[in-house]
Amino acid sequence: MIKPHGADTLKPLYVADAAARAALAAEAETLPSVVVSSAAAGNAVMLAAGYFTPLNGYMNLADSLAVAEKLHTTDGLFWPVPIVNMLKDVSAIQGASRIALRDPNVEGNPVLAVMDVTAIEEASEQQVRLMAEKIFGTLDEKHPGVSVFLGAGRFLVSGPIQVLNYSYFPQEFPDTFRTAQQIRDEIAERGWKKVVAFQTRNPMHRAHEELCRMAQERLGADGIVIHMLLGKLKEGDIPADVRDACIRKMVELYFPPNTVMITGYGFDMLYAGPREAVLHAIFRQNMGANYLIVGRDHAGVGDYYGPFDAQTIFDEHVPAGALQIEIFRADNTAYSKKLNCVVMMREAPDHTPDDFITLSGTKVRQMLGQGIAPPPEFSRPEVAKILMDYYQVLDAGK
Cα distances from 335 to residues 10, 53, 218, 358, 359, in angstroms, run: 40, 39, 19, 8, 11
Beta bridge partners of 336: 341, 356
Contact 227, 284 (CB under 8 A): yes
Element housing 212 (H / E): helix 206-219
Beta bridge partners of 343: 334
Q: Which of 231, 265, 234, 262 is nearest to 246 (CA)?
A: 262
Contact 292, 324 (CB under 8 A): no
60 is catalytic: no
Q: Which of 202, 329, 332, 365 is catalytic?
A: 202
Coil/strand/helix, residue 18? helix
Q: Which of 129, 201, 213, 248 is catalytic?
A: 201
Round the CA-based radius of gyration of the chain to a whole number and report it.
21
**AA letter at 20:** A
- Taking the C-alpha atoms of residue 17 and residue 239, their distance in angstroms, rounded to an integer, is 33
- Taking the C-alpha atoms of residue 84 and residue 139, their distance in angstroms, rounded to an integer, is 19
Q: Give the contacts of 352 (CB within 8 A, at least 6 positions apart).
A: none
202 is catalytic: yes
Q: Which of 272, 268, 269, 270 is nearest to 304 (CA)?
A: 272
Q: How many CA atoms lie within 13 A of 386 on its CB side?
A: 20
Contact 278, 318 (CB under 8 A): yes
Contact 323, 341 (CB under 8 A): no
**Which burial class, exposed, middle or buried, applies to 320 when counting CB atoms under 10 A from its CB (0-12, 13-18, 19+)?**
exposed
**Which burial class, exposed, middle or buried, applies to 248 when counting CB atoms under 10 A from its CB (0-12, 13-18, 19+)?**
middle
The size of the chain, in residues, is 398
Contact 390, 238 (CB under 8 A): yes
Sort strands 155-163 and 57-58 into parallel, antiparallel or unpaired.
antiparallel
Residues catalogued as catalytic: 201-202
